[in-house]
Amino acid sequence: MVAGDAESCQSALDHFRGSVARRALTPEEAVACNAQLERLQGLAHAACDGIVASRDWLNELFRLTGGLEVYDRSGRQRVDTGLAHPARRF
């Protein structure tokens, strides 16, 4: 995906499709093109897997904390995040 821009990616693929329609690829070009398309497909699948994992992590965090609001209005921590508490000196 072109810098996360699906429309630019689609535009590039449409341009490529038009180029191939005007002039067929040589066997060597076809092999190289196929390898690059398989690589891009793998990257797209990995990006989708990352998005799904991030969504699942946020859903789990939301479920465990009762929401994403960890601090109350006065700035006190409402939910134990598991982080070490700083030493308090008076």
What is the value of pTM for the model shown? Answer: 0.53
d(CA 12, CA 20): 12
Residues 6+ apart with CB under 8 A from 43: 1
The SS3 assignment for 62 reads helix
pLDDT tens, N- to C-terminus, the chain (90 residues):
446 677 888 888 888 888 888 888 899 998 998 898 888 888 888 888 998 999 999 888 888 776 666 677 787 776 665 666 666 665
**How confident is the model at residue 28, as a pLDDT?**
92
The sign of the torsion formed by the CA atoms of 37, 38, 39, 40 equals positive
d(CA 42, CA 53): 16
Mean of pLDDT over the chain = 80
**How confident is the model at residue 14, as a pLDDT?**
85
**How confident is the model at residue 53, as a pLDDT?**
93
Give me Rg for the CA atoms of the chain.
Answer: 24
